[in-house]
Structure formats: structure tokens, C-alpha cells
């Protein structure tokens, strides 16, 4: 894989003279709270939140060629092929706002993607993986009640975290929608795909320089966030974050 020609601004990729950067990788099944906490982490750490799912959905909304190509995979709960994922993500990571790193939500989804990411990064870039643990039994209820703001992407839940006004985002006033792939039959397929293809990433990062930390995502939201900050501090990343 050739290295990306950078303007020298994005996340440190393959060049040794880049400044230290940190990539926080969020692992865990759909509905584990990755998106919710990524938003708060992004503010707290001043790192951009990059969700490959959001990037695909934006392409679908704008009816781009990429959007047309990924739609059927997403609507069946399947993974989008790597050739459609990697270029899009690595291009996004070249943007100047990624100079100190970023929070990756929904990437990598397979060990092959994790290896492709490793191959792109310079030695100065550190990867931290947070694994959001939640048993499957609670995930279906969490996902099928999920609502998301069409504009700012803030997530809500019909029962557990309802907006103040029905179907209106508390933060930006945008309309709240249900994702097409949050229907129960598609959610079950996504969970199956997660166990088969994404779960091996936990072992991959556990073996990689003590990069992995576990977060019990069944706890109340505020406690989960405190646990995330604690996990990040035990990795002694404060100086680079």
C-alpha cells in the first residue's frame, strides 16, 4: 500500500517527521454507546470524531457514487467492502483538524482494516482501543429505540434518553430520525456480523503494546464517561492528548 501524500496537516501517516498524534479506536457491538460517548470525548479531548457510518450516510443523502455503491450493503446489515471504506477514511484523516489525531467510531471493523490503518500511520502515532462491553440481550432494545439528529448527529433514545420535544434535537433543533438499518431484522444481522468479523479486533489490540482498555457500557452514561476518562489516563496518554 503506497503512503498518502500529505499536505503535512492531517494525522501522522507514514512520515517520521510528523508530530505525535493519538488515535482513539472505539470497539464494541452496534448500540454499545460508541457514538454517544464519541461526541463527549471529542469535546473533552479536542479531537475530531470520525464515524465511517456517518460518512457513508452523508454520501447516501447526497446521492454520490460512493453512496449508491454502499447503500445495499448497509441496508442488509453487511460490511461495506474495504476498497470503499479505506480511501474514504484515509482521505478524511488527512484533513488539518486531524493533526493531533482523531476518534474513530466504526473503524476498524475487521482485523484486515486494523492492519491497513497500522500500515498508514507513522511511528509517532499512538493507537488506543476502548472496548465497549454490553451483552447482546440489551442491545436490541437499545438500538431499535434509537433516534438520531439528521443535522448534528446527536443520538437519543425513545425510552432511555428522550428529547425534550418529540422528534426535535435538544442541541440544534434538527429533526430526529430512525436509521434505516436500526430495524430489528437488520440489527440482528449486524450483531451477527459484529461477532464474526469485528470481535477478533479485541484480541488484536490486546496483544498490541497494551493498547486495549475495557469499558462496562451497561452502567449509567455519566459513569461510563468517567470510566472512559480513567481508562485513557491509565494509558498515560494525557501528555499527547
List the catalytic residues. Answer: 34, 109, 146, 179, 190
- The size of the interface with ligand AMP (CB under 6 A), counted in residues, is 18
Task: Please select the residue that binds ligand AMP; options are 190, 191, 227, 232, rule is CB under 6 A.
Answer: 190
Considering the rule CB under 6 A, would residue 31 count as an interface residue with ligand AMP?
no
Please state the closest distance from residue 80 (CB atom) to ligand AMP, in A: 4
Q: Give, to the nearest 10 degrees, the angle between helix 65-75 and helix 82-93.
A: 120
DSSP state, 166? T
Q: Which residues pair with 148 in a beta bridge?
A: 155, 177
Considering the rule CB under 6 A, would residue 30 count as an interface residue with ligand AMP?
yes
Where helices occur in the chain by DSSP H, the ranges are 34-45, 52-61, 65-75, 82-93, 111-120, 136-144, 184-193, 200-206, 221-234
Please state the closest distance from residue 229 (CB atom) to ligand AMP, in A: 23
Tell me how many degrees the CA angle 94-97-100 measures, rounded to the nearest 5: 90
**Which range in 6-14, 71-79, 155-163, 224-232 contacts ligand AMP by CB under 6 A?**
71-79
Write the DSSP string, 119-137.
HHS-TTEEEEEEEEE--HH
Please state the closest distance from residue 10 (CB atom) to ligand AMP, in A: 18
Considering the rule CB under 6 A, would residue 56 count as an interface residue with ligand AMP?
yes
Binding positions for ligand AMP, rule: CB under 6 A: 30, 51-53, 56, 73-74, 77-80, 85, 106-107, 109, 113, 181, 190
Amino acid at each position: 500500500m503506497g503512503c498518502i501524500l500529505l499536505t503535512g496537516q492531517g494525522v501522522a501517516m507514514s512520515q517520521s517527521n510528523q508530530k505525535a498524534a493519538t488515535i482513539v479506536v472505539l470497539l464494541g457491538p452496534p448500540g454499545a454507546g460508541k457514538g454517544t460517548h464519541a461526541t463527549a470525548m471529542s469535546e473533552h479531548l479536542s479531537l475530531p470524531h470520525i464515524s465511517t457510518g456517518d460518512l457513508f450516510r452523508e454520501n447516501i443523502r447526497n446521492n454520490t457514487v460512493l453512496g449508491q455503491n454502499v447503500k445495499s450493503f448497509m441496508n442488509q446489515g453487511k460490511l461495506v467492502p474495504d476498497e470503499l471504506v479505506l480511501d474514504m477514511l484515509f482521505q478524511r484523516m488527512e484533513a488539518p483538524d486531524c493533526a493531533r489525531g482523531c476518534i474513530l467510531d466504526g473503524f476498524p471493523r475487521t482485523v484486515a482494516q486494523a492492519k491497513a490503518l497500522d500500515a498508514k500511520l507513522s511511528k509517532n502515532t499512538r493507537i488506543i482501543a476502548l472496548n465497549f462491553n454490553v451483552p447482546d440481550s440489551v442491545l436490541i432494545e437499545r438500538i431499535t429505540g434509537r433516534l438520531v439528529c439528521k443535522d448534528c448527529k446527536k443520538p437519543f433514545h425513545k425510552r432511555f434518553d428522550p428529547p425534550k420535544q418529540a422528534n426535535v434535537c435538544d442541541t440544534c433543533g434538527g429533526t430526529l430520525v430512525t436509521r434505516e438499518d436500526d430495524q430489528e431484522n437488520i440489527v440482528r444481522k449486524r450483531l451477527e456480523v459484529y461477532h464474526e468479523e469485528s470481535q477478533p479486533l479485541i484480541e488484536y489490540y490486546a496483544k498490541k503494546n497494551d493498547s486495549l482498555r475495557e469499558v462496562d457500557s451497561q452502567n449509567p452514561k455519566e459513569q461510563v464517561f468517567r470510566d472512559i476518562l480513567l481508562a485513557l489516563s491509565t494509558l498515560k496518554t494525557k501528555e499527547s492528548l
